[in-house]
A and B are shown apart, each in its own frame.
Chain A
Amino acid sequence: MTTASAILPARGLADHLTAVFWRHPRVLLALLLTPPLLWLGVVYLGSLAALLLQSFYSIDEFSGVVKEEFTLKTYGELLRPSNFDILVRTVTMAALVTLACAILAFPIAYYAARYAKGHWKAAFYLGVMLPLWSSYLVKVYAWKLILAKEGILGWAAERTHTSWIIDGLLSIPGLEGSSLSTSPIGTFAVFVYIWLPYMILPMQAALERVPNSMLEASADLGATRAQTLRTVILPLALPGVIAGSIFTFSLTLGDYIIPQIIGNSANFIGMAVYQLQGTAGNIPLAAAFAVVPIAIMLIYLAIARRMGAFDAL
């Protein structure tokens, strides 16, 4: 009479490996986690660290050579009027774009989340997503043509004798330009158009999660529609609004293509970084500029957290 072993004989390398993983689950965990952690730690955070490091170097005034000594001089240069202008201009634009996107997106998202059904819902998704499928550059160039002096908008205004509206807008101090496409108004309009879907989609997701029962309860308790909107819907949809605003705000902060094509050529942070790191070789200042949006976003996220934007996560 033979007795079989309780443990089956190993049939090869794979069985051995399985046994090792079974006996030491931490080995498997380490193996699975190492590549993504390496990616995050070395490639992603490493490059960020290099960027930070560079921003503490400075450029030698005479030779234009980067001095590899720690100093805050480069950050001090950010406060020079011409550089500070760039920061103020970019942050103002990002804030205005975010605000406009939120105001425009809310009714659209609300309709889509609460009223659109069946085919209409599909049409809505398609309508919001469609612009995202076509090239970003094509859209910006198309807007350049729409806003140009001899473009569709100018032509239509002339035919309808409403050119005075455009001329009036373009004579507001700070917004001057020979046409909408060379004025900050044009840059603003194109930013809003390009980033709007990023605001609508998270907003709609948040609005869909607002339970109907709460709205009914609100109505039962005698709240008017405006009161329901203010005290029930808006607070519950706030995380979506904040999520969307993170997109629109950070995307505007970093973009350098739209203000190059539309607008009066005044620099935004991205454009300044692009120019400074090139032939100029002023990597420290470029890095310092690049740190600003990161800092602003960190502050923004901290405020957003306070407001409860991440409670649903």
Chain B
Amino acid sequence: MKRLRLMGTATLALLTGLSPALAQVTEIGAPEGQVNIVAWPGYIERGETDKAFDWVTKFEAASGCKVNVKTANTSDEMVALMNEGGFDLVTASGDASLRLVAGDRVQPINTDLIPSWSTVDDRLKDAPWHTVEGVHYGVPYMWGPNVLMYNTEVFKEPPTSWNVVFEEMNLPDGKSNKGRVQAYDGPIHVADAAQYLMFHKPELKITSPYELNEDQYKAALDLLRQQRALVSRYWHDAFIQMDDFKNEGVVASGSWPFQVNLLKSEGLPIASTIPQEGATGWADTTMMHVDAANPNCSYLWMEHSLASNLQADLSVWFGANPAVPAACTDGRGMATAESCTANGLDDFDKIRFWTTPVSKCSQGDGACVPYYRWVSDYIGVIGGR
């Protein structure tokens, strides 16, 4: 219920363009001894999963702040945890960050207290998913594209278009793609279809895959219905998808660099590309709770998240891209120019980052189809309607 109210507030705040100006921290005092972070699994590693991946113990020793991590598996879980309170920081994705801002769950960040702010990718500094009316509500953490993963034995040349997963066709090995491609089992996949149409059907005048009016939305659903005939099973779990590429004869699908890197490391003939239409993607931000009990340690962690080996090593660990581009080349961790390129660093401009579709959009108030309809309609499409 609380979340519903929050979403209501969020929509309302977006409608009226409200942005509550809250007091922000002006100086960093003595560390409190701990910091509590809500994070995606695998985001904050202290060398317990794999000894080589540790970006916590050094911070704890240097700052005296013990890092307590609570992992959350979905954006909704993250918002719920932040609503409950008791946490200082959260690594929020684009679909959670604005909800947190609108619900007054996070506080503005004083970038002057974060010396490494200047090293953040200029393209992320004022990104709309954490900056509201010029006020920064967080520090960029990581971002990544949803790439097209393919089997190199079937595709000798990388596929140049997403049409391999949207249109029925014969693949380079002469056999049909029917039953051999996959799509993401989440309503946000409607945006991938819209992005494909944006390129191939300019007459629909789609300007953003997350802002679709009724006609554009209908066209996207029609494309997805056509895709349904090609897809035997939609994927929602990274490891099930990897298994399907190994055992089910799946040869092409939208995916994350995470799966691509893992399958490659197992020696399988897998590669990924961002086709001509571009791709959707995700970008996460470290945000600070409005009632954070440990603000000093929080600021120290935010600085650490930008300045340390975290950016480089997490990039390798997660198959994502650092918010600080220098981390790819300055040797602070394992990332190299090549590994960042493999994760899609150079494709930033081709990526349209995940945001929650709301009915009020650039096309007018109530002109766009809101997310809850994406959900019910995508359920229908997968059910064959």
Q: Which chain B residues border A63 with CB–CB below 8 Å?
A: 8, 11, 359, 366, 370
Is A179 a contact of B248 with CB atoms below 8 Å? yes
Closest to A54 in B: B1
Indicate whether B75 reaches chain A with its CB closer than 8 angstroms: yes
Indicate whether A181 reaches chain B with its CB closer than 8 angstroms: yes
Shortest CB–CB separation between residue B252 and chain A, in angstroms?
A: 13
Is A260 a contact of B370 with CB atoms below 8 Å? no
Interface residue ranges of A60-74 to B (CB < 8 Å): 62-66
Interchain CA distance A265-B236 in the complex, whole Å: 10
Interchain CA distance A32-B380 in the complex, whole Å: 50
Please choose the segment from B18-26, B43-51, B371-379 that sits at the chain A interface, where 4 or more of its residues have CB less than 8 A away: B371-379
Interchain CA distance A278-B231 in the complex, whole Å: 24
Q: Which chain B residues border A65 with CB–CB below 8 Å?
A: 4, 7-8, 11
Interface residue ranges of A16-63 to B (CB < 8 Å): 59, 62-63
Interface residue ranges of B55-99 to A (CB < 8 Å): 74-76, 95
Interchain CA distance A31-B246 in the complex, whole Å: 60
Q: Which chain B residues border A272 with CB–CB below 8 Å?
A: 379
- Give the residue among A83, A89, A261, A275 with the most B Cβ atoms within 10 A: A275
Is B248 a contact of A264 with CB atoms below 8 Å? no
Indicate whether B259 reaches chain A with its CB closer than 8 angstroms: no
Known: A65-B7, A85-B385. A144 touches B240 (CB 8 A): yes
Is B74 a contact of A281 with CB atoms below 8 Å? no
Shortest CB–CB separation between residue A36 and chain B, in angstroms?
A: 27
Is A260 a contact of B383 with CB atoms below 8 Å? no
Indicate whether A204 reaches chain B with its CB closer than 8 angstroms: no
Q: Which chain A residues border B243 with CB–CB below 8 Å?
A: 141, 144-145, 148
Interchain CA distance A224-B282 in the complex, whole Å: 71
Interface residue ranges of A95-146 to B (CB < 8 Å): 141, 144-145
Closest to B79 in A: A279
Q: Which chain A residues border B180 with CB–CB below 8 Å?
A: 178
Closest to B378 in A: A275
Closest to A145 in B: B247
Known: A261-B240, A279-B76. A149 touches B247 (CB 8 A): yes
Q: Which chain B residues border A266 with CB–CB below 8 Å?
A: 382-384
Known: A278-B76, A279-B75, A280-B376. A265 touches B371 (CB 8 A): no
Closest to B3 in A: A281
Shortest CB–CB separation between residue B358 and chain A, in angstroms?
A: 7
Please encode chain B, from 1 to 33, with 1 for each CB lying within 8 Å of some chain A CB and 0 for all others: 001100110010000000000000000000000
Known: A63-B11, A264-B232, A275-B187. A282 touches B385 (CB 8 A): no
- Give the residue among B4, B231, B358, B382 with the most A Cβ atoms within 10 A: B4
Interchain CA distance A266-B180 in the complex, whole Å: 17
Interface residue ranges of A157-189 to B (CB < 8 Å): 177-179, 181-182
Known: A272-B379, A285-B376. A64 touches B7 (CB 8 A): yes
Is B359 a contact of A64 with CB atoms below 8 Å? yes
Q: Which of B232, B246, B379, B384 is A275 in contact with, Cβ under 8 Å?
A: B379
Is B4 a contact of A280 with CB atoms below 8 Å? no
Indicate whether A222 reaches chain B with its CB closer than 8 angstroms: no
- Interface residue tally for chain B (C-beta within 8 Å): 44
Is A177 a contact of B232 with CB atoms below 8 Å? yes
Is A282 a contact of B179 with CB atoms below 8 Å? no
Q: Which chain B residues border A2 with CB–CB below 8 Å?
A: none
Interchain CA distance A265-B382 in the complex, whole Å: 7
Interchain CA distance A176-B246 in the complex, whole Å: 21
Is A64 a contact of B11 with CB atoms below 8 Å? yes
Q: Which of A62, A150, A278, A281 is B248 in contact with, Cβ under 8 Å?
A: A150
Is B376 a contact of A281 with CB atoms below 8 Å? no
Is A267 a contact of B11 with CB atoms below 8 Å? no
Is A149 a contact of B383 with CB atoms below 8 Å? no
Q: Which chain B residues border A265 with CB–CB below 8 Å?
A: 185, 231, 233-234, 382
Is A282 a contact of B234 with CB atoms below 8 Å? no
Q: Which chain A residues border B371 with CB–CB below 8 Å?
A: 64, 279-281
Q: Which chain B residues border A59 with CB–CB below 8 Å?
A: 372
Indicate whether A194 reaches chain B with its CB closer than 8 angstroms: no
Shortest CB–CB separation between residue A152 and chain B, in angstroms?
A: 10
Q: Which chain A residues border B76 with CB–CB below 8 Å?
A: 278-279
Interchain CA distance A264-B372 in the complex, whole Å: 23
Is A86 a contact of B379 with CB atoms below 8 Å? yes
Is A182 a contact of B3 with CB atoms below 8 Å? no
Indicate whether B329 reaches chain A with its CB closer than 8 angstroms: no
Known: A265-B185, A275-B379, A279-B76. A64 touches B370 (CB 8 A): yes
Shortest CB–CB separation between residue B81 and chain A, in angstroms?
A: 14
Is B376 a contact of A282 with CB atoms below 8 Å? yes
Interchain CA distance A14-B4 in the complex, whole Å: 50
Closest to A86 in B: B383
Interface residue ranges of A175-210 to B (CB < 8 Å): 177-179, 181-182
Closest to B99 in A: A279
Is A278 a contact of B74 with CB atoms below 8 Å? yes
Known: A279-B371, A280-B371, A280-B375. A264 touches B233 (CB 8 A): yes
- Give the residue among B8, B185, B370, B385 with the most A Cβ atoms within 10 A: B370
Interchain CA distance A144-B3 in the complex, whole Å: 36
Indicate whether A81 reaches chain B with its CB closer than 8 angstroms: yes
Interchain CA distance A144-B235 in the complex, whole Å: 14
Indicate whether B356 reaches chain A with its CB closer than 8 angstroms: yes
- Give the residue among A59, A144, A178 with the most B Cβ atoms within 10 A: A178
Interchain CA distance A64-B4 in the complex, whole Å: 10
Interchain CA distance A81-B381 in the complex, whole Å: 11
Known: A275-B379, A279-B75, A279-B76. A64 touches B240 (CB 8 A): no
Question: Closest 3 interchain pairs by CB?
Answer: A82-B380, A178-B179, A280-B375
28 pairs of residues in contact across A and B, judged by CB atoms under 8 Å:
A59-B372, A62-B366, A62-B370, A63-B359, A63-B366, A64-B7, A65-B8, A85-B384, A86-B379, A89-B383, A148-B248, A150-B246, A150-B247, A150-B249, A181-B248, A182-B179, A260-B185, A263-B233, A264-B232, A265-B233, A265-B234, A265-B382, A276-B375, A276-B376, A276-B379, A279-B95, A279-B375, A281-B371
Residues in A lying within 8 Å of B, measured CB to CB: 59, 62-66, 81-83, 85-86, 89, 141, 144-145, 148-151, 177-179, 181-182, 260-261, 263-267, 272, 275-276, 278-283, 285
Residues in B lying within 8 Å of A, measured CB to CB: 3-4, 7-8, 11, 74-76, 95, 178-180, 185, 187, 231-234, 236-237, 240, 243, 246-249, 356, 358-359, 366, 370-377, 379-380, 382-385
